[in-house]
Amino acid sequence: MSLQPSPLPEPHATDQNSIYEHQGQSMWKRTISQLIKRKTSLIGFSIILFIVVTALLAPVIATHNPTAQSITDRYLAPSSEHYLGTDELGRDIFSRIVYGTRISIQIALISVGISLVIGVILGCLAGYFGRWIDQVIMRVIDVMMAFPSILLAIALVAVLGPGLKNAMIAVGIVGIPQFARIVRSIVMSVKETEYIEAARAIGAKHGRILFQHVLPNSLAPIIVQATLGMGTAILDAAGLSFLGLGAQPPTPEWGAMLSDGRAALQTAPWVVAFPGLAIFLFVLGFNLFGDGLRDAIDPRLKE
């Protein structure tokens, strides 16, 4: 009677999924731990949290109606009645900035959402299938990146028409190339790994491979790019509003407030100083948090 070792059982799909899930949980735990250790990321997160809370509690925090006009109160300096002064129509600047946080968050989320969805789809198609699909998509992306982002956004708004909704669409389209190029590079490297080859060998369809195996391993850089893209979206939208192509009066959008107050820059500097400071803090918060998130996710970067 010959004794032969029994073959080891092959891992089931459920076992592999549990391994991937455990690895994903470990990565996010490590990411959160690294974020907590970085002061800059905590500062950025605190700024973002402050802006979100301000937007949610805008009716409680605001001291005046943001669109109410009072000609007798034009260009009042900051005081106990008007914390940040008033503008050329006597509107309370503090209340307009507080309500402007809602518009800025809306701009950031919708614009980046458009960029993310379309960019991820194009990047997946180009990176996974390659060949002529990759050539066509990437040549279009190259053409879009040949133009400065603000000029391309102005051209798109000129076609679509001025307004906050069209400005968000234009800013979203301008941000597509960054997501497409990042996702394409990741997909091209991930699709050559052993577990993707194994999925193809058992007859998995392209859609299942992309959505169950490739995209989950591409989430980290996509999230980082989305976080950094929030600040860029606000700057582009503010630039369009400053030129009169974005939010229209009396919408309390920070870029439009800068445009309305530039005529009184020397006589009433608070009219442009405080909206500009709001834009600065918003962009700074997302940039600091995005940089910290990128460093925390990248395993090559250690303390």
Specify whether the CB–CB gap between 218 and 212 falls below 8 A. Answer: no
DSSP 210: I
> Quick one: how many helices (H) and strands (E) in the chain?
13, 0
**Nearest residue to 175 via CA among 227, 131, 119:** 119
Whole-model pTM above 0.95? no
Question: Where exactly are the structural domains of the chain?
Answer: 38-67+80-297
Specify whether the CB–CB gap between 86 and 93 falls below 8 A. Answer: yes
Q: What number does CATH give the domain 38-67+80-297?
A: 1.10.3720.10
pLDDT of residue 60: 94
pLDDT of residue 124: 87
Tokens for 33? 């731990």
pLDDT of residue 27: 59
pLDDT of residue 254: 92
The pLDDT profile of the chain, 303 residues, written as one tens digit per residue, is 444 444 444 444 444 444 444 454 565 676 677 777 778 888 999 999 999 999 999 999 999 999 999 889 999 999 999 999 999 999 999 999 999 999 999 999 999 999 999 999 999 888 888 788 889 999 999 999 988 888 999 999 999 999 999 999 999 999 999 999 998 888 887 777 666 667 667 766 766 777 777 777 777 788 888 998 999 999 999 999 998 898 888 889 999 999 888 888 888 999 999 999 999 999 999 999 888 887 777 655 444
Specify whether the CB–CB gap between 98 and 90 falls below 8 A. Answer: no
- According to DSSP, the residues that pair with 86 across neighbouring strands are 92
Cis amide linkage into residue 250, ω under 30° from 0? yes
